[in-house]
Structure 1
Amino acid sequence: MQPADRTAPAHLDALTGIRGVAAWLVVLYHIRDALTGILPAAVIAVLAKGYLAVDLFFILSGFVLWYNYAPRLREGGVAAAGQFLWRRIARIWPLHLFILGLFVVFAPSFVAVGRDASFYPLAELPLHVLLIQNWGFTPGLTWNDPAWSISTEMAAYLVFPLVIAAAKWERLPTAALLALGLALLSAIALYFWADDDTILGADISRLGLVRCLLEFSLGNVLCLVWLRWRGAAHGAKIAFAVCLGALGMGLHLGLPETMFVPTCFAAGLLALALGRGAIIGALGGRALRYLGEVSYSTYLAHTFLFLAFKLVVSHAAPQIGWSGLAGFLVLVLASSIALYHGVEKPAQRWMNRHTPRWPWRESAIPAE
């Protein structure tokens, strides 16, 4: 494997664009019950699968982090691992803490309009602050529930340097990498099957951590395969065919989503990373790329914004109508932009400028 350019790693714009699309699917998933009066049942049924976008996030995260950090972590050792973890904390923690603070301030108002008070347990706040709330310590999702996935990503970040140090993965034959990918896909299906679950979003507080770790690792393997195939003439077509084949077979045979959706996502992301053409150009275009850049703010803030929107605008009415939908989407977009430029990036830059002085030799790790 050739390491990425240390000064300016290539940015896969289509993958950034798809991240933005996925974030908005999660937004629509969480507000779908307020849209049943204006959208057909078939559309609502599609939106009800929006939680699967999180699985796409996990695989994509594993891919991108392997590409950007694996060579540096392998060469830099313990010092590089410390800097990597600090920079990942700088990336995800400040905005998480900001949104969590908004929930703390406004929780009494949300309870006053019918939100279950048990959704805001003060005893669990330290777990949320430390981003360990979804490590098996609690029976359900609380406070800012989308942050469960950020909690499991934090666990993946802790494991990631150890995975890199465990073996010379880049030296494995391509056949071995593909076998490892198939093993991870099988492990995902078997993990849920052993719990008698067929839905990837089942029992998140108990199953979400392993779900993330397996899919993040799948993304690592996917990146290794991409680094081998990125010059292949027909790699994108093969990956896209696998994606469509897995989707068609899964739907035709009525297979549990645990058995085919991760395959679709992995093959689809590989096709995007390898491919060219109109779809790749659209996803990598300025508009969708920007949506991808602000997608973390979109993802973390939209639940709070919807609760506040219903409190102020719709007065907790069960339906929001077309005008309400348009107003809320504009609110989310504007807030995402404001949070990205006003909170997320400034806080990240500040933390990266104040990296702890490690007692061992330092090795340069770029900010993301």
Structure 2
Amino acid sequence: MTQSRPETFDSLTGLRFLLSIWIAVFHLGDMYDHAGFGSWPIMKAGVARVDIFFVLSGFVLTHIYWARSKAKFHFPTFLRARIARLYPLHLLALAILFGLVLAAHLVGKGDEARNFTGLGLIANILLVQAWGVPGAGVWNFPGWTISAEFFGYLLFPAFLACASAFRSRPIMLLTLAVALVLLIDLGFRALLGRTMTQSTADLGILRGASVMFVGVAARVLYETWNLNARDAFRTVLLGALIAVASAFFALTTGLVALGGALLVLGLAARDVTKPESGVGTGLDAPLMVKLGGWSYAIFILHVPVFMAFQNLAGVLGMPIPINPVTILVMTGILMLVAACAHYLIEEPARLWIRGANRRAE
């Protein structure tokens, strides 16, 4: 019997929190203790986190706008909803960084901020910072991912058309989607001399959109692949192993995307089987779901918050070393800021832009 499909998957919301906090802690080490904490071997596996985000986005958006929706897909409405999702906190992050750059110039440290160019700022405002614009990647450098994801939004009608065309052949669609990522990765290596995982602000749009398409294909496969609780758990473990191992050993992004697809698909299936098995994933716990709601704020604000914190400490003559205690303290401050930003800015602005009091996707 076909399993009912929930409107949302709590485990995927909890996964968003884990990915966002992992990214924040990684960047904290990479920015301020590159030769120490930032160089730990386990950090090599961190490459997987961004690509799993892209897969997750493609999976969830396909669930909302293709599998669950009974209305005809309306691209302008879709795009407005996505802008409402990304833009308010993106502008807040840029405003914080602009304030830090301005302060640097006012106190005679303009040389330290010389890479923060006006062209780069404009590119970020227009969400084209992952299109290869010079200097764009300096401004809130993790923000290249939302530029790449926005490019995927522009292609989303084509993704949905593929989903409909391959509804009865989901494995073929997933195979083609992964093959597309592999092909683009080979192109990067042959033409640009770098792997896709090394592509962020410089043509990261191709990475983001193609990996998002893998998430779309995963949702099409999920439509007919009714896993029981045990098989779903095995799929989660297999997906996590493939994604993390591929990232750790610097294998192709295609394998990371495949692992992410299995991980996301398995977690979604576990949520469906929870009433039957009585066992959740842990990621579906109420606290994790709540923290997952803060995940975008954590992700987009972590660099500005960490920079502001460290710059303030420097002005006070109290540089902060990176160790387990300071990591916990700074991460806790980040989560407090993210919670405030989520409830006071992100949610109200999203509802205002969308023009309706609807629950955010």
The alpha carbon displacement at 1:350 in A equals 0.8
Indicate the larger mover: 87-96 or 279-288: 279-288
Q: Which of 80, 100, 103 lines up with 1:106 in the alignment?
A: 100
Matched, 1:206 2:202: yes
TM-score, normalization by structure 2: 0.83
Once the two structures are superposed, the pairs formed by residues 278-293 of structure 1 within 5 Å of their partners are: 280-293=280-293
Q: Are residues 256 and 116 of structure 1, via their aligned partners in 2, closer, same or farther at CA, if it must alter by over 3 Å?
A: farther
Deviations 1:9-55 (A, max 9, x none): 521111111110000111111111435798596xx222354343111
Q: Are the equivalent residues in 2 in contact too, given 1:17–1:289 (CA < 8 A)?
A: yes
Question: Which residue does the alignment assign to 1:157?
Answer: 153
Cα distance in 1 for partners of 2:279, 2:286 equals: 13
Structure-1 separation of matches of 2:309 and 2:16? 24
Distance 1:166 1:153 in 2: 18
Contact 1:62 1:220 (C-alpha < 8 Å) held by counterparts? yes
After superposition, the C-alpha distances for 1:47-77 in whole angstroms (9 at most, x for unaligned) are 3543431111111000000000125789525
Q: For the residues of structure 1 that align with 2:265 and 2:162, how far apart are their CA atoms?
A: 24
Give the TM-score normalised by structure 1.
Answer: 0.82
Ranges in structure 2 where 5+ consecutive residues have no aligned partner = none
Q: Distance in 2 between matches of 1:178 and 1:37?
A: 39
- Residue 220 of structure 2 corresponds to residue 230 of structure 1: no
Number of positions where the alignment pairs a residue of Structure 1 with one of Structure 2: 349
Between stretches 108-117 and 179-188, larger displacement belongs to 108-117
| Whole-Å separation in 2 of the counterparts to 1:82 and 1:229 | 32
Paired residues of 1:136 and 1:205 also in contact (CA < 8 A): yes
Quote the Cα distance in structure 1 between the aligned partners of 2:170 and 2:20.
32
Equivalent runs, 1:289-368 vs 2, <5 Å: 289-313=289-313, 317=319, 319-353=321-355, 367-368=360-361
Does the 8 Å CA contact 2:48/2:244 hold for their aligned counterparts?
no
Q: 2: CA distance between counterparts of 1:314 and 1:230?
A: 55
In structure 2, which of residues 19, 22, 27 is the aligned counterpart of residue 25 of structure 1? 22
Q: 1:284 to 1:219 in 2, by over 3 A?
A: same
Corresponding residue to 2:85 among 91, 102, 114: 91
Q: Which moved more, 1:156-165 or 1:275-284?
A: 275-284
Over aligned residues, Cα RMSD in angstroms?
A: 3.4
Give, in angstroms, the shift of residue 142 of structure 1.
Answer: 1.9
For residues 214-236 of structure 1, the C-alpha deviation after alignment (integer angstroms, 9 at most, x for no partner) is: 10000000011111113556642
* 1:271 is aligned to 2:266: yes
Aligned to 1:360: none
Preserved CA contact (<8 Å) 1:73 1:161: no
Deviation at 1:155, TM superposition (A): 1.1
Separation in structure 1 between the aligned mates of residue 152 and residue 75 of structure 2, nearest angstrom: 13
In 2, the alpha carbon distance for the partners of 1:167 and 1:274 equals 19
| 2:233/2:267 contact within 8 Å kept | no
Q: What secondary structure sits across from 2:329 in the alignment?
A: helix
Measure how far apart 1:247 and its partner are: 5.9
Work out the CA distance in 2 between the residues paired with 1:331 and 1:190: 41
Letter in 2 for 1:333: M
- What aligned pairs does 1:46-65 form with structure 2 within 5 A after superposition? 46-65=42-61
Stretch deviating more after TM superposition (234-243 or 326-335): 234-243
The CA distance in 2 between the partners of 1:279 and 1:214, in whole Å, is 34
Structure 1, unmatched stretches of 5+, are: 356-364
**How far 1:327 moved relative to its partner?**
2.1
Structure 2 distance, partners of 1:32, 1:45, is: 12
Distance 1:278 1:321, change over 3 A: farther
Q: Distance in 2 between matches of 1:11 and 1:320?
A: 37
Change (3 A) 1:31 1:171: closer
Matched, 1:14 2:17: no
Matched, 1:137 2:151: no
1:71-125 Cα deviation digits (max 9, x unpaired): 5789525xx1111111111111111112211211221335666883233111232
Q: One-letter code of the match for 2:267?
A: L
Q: Which has the higher contact order (CA 8 A, sep 6+)?
A: 1
AA partner of residue 132 (structure 2): G
Mean CA deviation greater in 161-170 or 101-110 = 161-170
Write the deviation string for residues 246-293 of structure 1: whole angstroms up to 9, x where unpaired.
Answer: 4698599x5625353222222222221222579843111122222211
